[in-house]
Amino acid sequence: MEEKELRRYSRVVVDGDEQAPSRAMLRAVGFSEDDFKRPQVGVASTWSMVTPCNMHIRDLADAAAASADAAGGKGVVFNTISVSDGISMGTPGMRYSLVSREIIADSIEAVTAAEGFDGLVTIGGCDKNMPACVMAMARLNRPSVFVYGGTIRPGTNRRDIVSVFEAVGAKSAGTISDKELLEVEQTAIPGPGACGGMYTANTMASAIEALGMSLANSSAQEAVSAAKLQDCQRAAEAVVNLIKLDIKPLDIMTYKAFENAISVVIALGGSTNAVLHLLAMAREAQVPLTLEDFTRIGARVPVLADLKPSGKYLMSELIEIGGIQPLMKRMLDAGFLHGDCLTVTGKTLAENLADVADYPDGQDIVQDFAHPIKRDSHLAILYGNVAPDGAVAKISGKEGLRFEGTARIYHSEELALQAILDGEVISGDVIVIRYEGPKGAPGMREMLSPTSAIMGKGLGAEVALITDGRFSGGSHGFVVGHVSPEAAVGGPIALLEDGDKLVIDAERKQINALVSDEVLAERRKRWQRPKSSVTGGTLAKYRSQVSSASEGAVTVPDPWD
């Protein structure tokens, strides 16, 4: 390609006499005369010191920019925000977590389009900024590669952040002391990196790799490692190559590529948040993905990886045996992946996996197809008179496949958590946490604090929890989230009352209240939406535009033409 074609966007910003002011500004930030003739590669860094997930990313971004320069481009680093779920969990601040996904995508789009970057490297290290990066890349549709910031190393005794949340419940139950709780708190998080199990960060990193938007094993490297630094350097080189080949995200993010991502998420036993984020990413890529695709694919793809929270192992231990590439090779050979999908290497998935070696003999982290952990998906899409538009359950099978119990209603996460810690919740209860949906919170908070308290109290097999909010990837037990329509828009979950009998059936894919249509209709006549404390600002704007969780909780522009 000619020089101008390589600089499809940047030349509009820097070529010609009329753009002398632009060049003058860029000289001040370090551009040389030769740099104006190179394709510009934006490096979107999610570095900040608000969370260990992202605290190391500044150095990774600088390495990517230097590598872009060496490959014949001009790397330009810019930053965006990050919100820590682990820190804000259980507080009003958690309302901003899912909202931040939209803010991050918007900010990457704004900077890239305004500055005229010809290609893009995005580096994400925490739950929401990862799908946000991919959403922005799909919108912009310029040659792009995503880089995962990497997983954290295990804490003392293989602890992680979920160990701390569950220790809070154990302290409440009287099974550990104040001193023991403090010791867990002090030793669970040893340094940089995303939460260490197959929680949302590692799930989304794996999904993005399977989607074809990151390099091989980008999802399976520790945050503090030579491999992760090399991943950033190779990603920048790959973007310069994609610019030359004119391969863009929408060439890669096809319907079949999303099927690959869903299949890998299931095989790994990944987070329920993957449903929400993959739907949102697909919308930006103009791919008609729906909840039904998760059900269809889940009927044939087994759970193979014995990873936390439901399993035994951490991501760092999967890394030691080869990461997710050997799993993907097995799945490809067994017909569970589309090998003809294009990836950011410029090659197909099958070509990338051709020489991948299998896992070492004797490992028991990833099972074979003859002995799966679960023969179908752990992600069950449920429907019924509680969730006419769908709900997402995370059912590993260890907690059973059916639960019938008595509703215990709470209008916020805080109220439910206190009730659990105070011993109000007993065996046979179905905890209902409502007005925590995309509009209701607003922001669709994660329920890690209540689910961890349940596990810490020893009630994991004895109670269920349903919510129009969502769950952390660290949540486990008999839990159902994303109930749609949500309570704040008058969904049936708003009409449930204490004492109602609820049935959750993962095999039949149903969630129902044993309450007649006539009774629900009478209750609807009396229902009034609770007054929200949110009257302005970012949360109010989000509430006015956000769609249902069944559609990915994306912000939908108001059509005006």
Residues annotated as catalytic are: 472
Main-chain dihedrals φ then ψ at residue 80, nearest 5 degrees: -140, -175
Cβ 150 vs Cβ 219: under 8 Å:
no
Alpha-carbon span 435 to 441, nearest angstrom: 6
| Burial class, 522, CB count within 10 angstroms (exposed 0-12 / middle 13-18 / buried 19+) | exposed
Alpha-carbon span 164 to 189, nearest angstrom: 9
> Which pairing describes strands 402-410 and 119-124: parallel, antiparallel, or unpaired?
unpaired
372 alpha-carbon distance from chain centroid? 24
**Rounded to the nearest 5 degrees, what angle is found at the Cα of 286, between the Cα atoms of 387 and 376?**
50
DSSP code at position 32: -
> Which pairing describes strands 478-484 and 464-467: parallel, antiparallel, or unpaired?
parallel
198 alpha-carbon distance from chain centroid? 11
- Looking up tokens 């030691």 gives 320
245 alpha-carbon distance from chain centroid? 30
Other C-beta atoms closer than 10 Å to the C-beta of 398 total 15
Q: Using DSSP, state whether 269 is helix, strand or coil.
A: coil
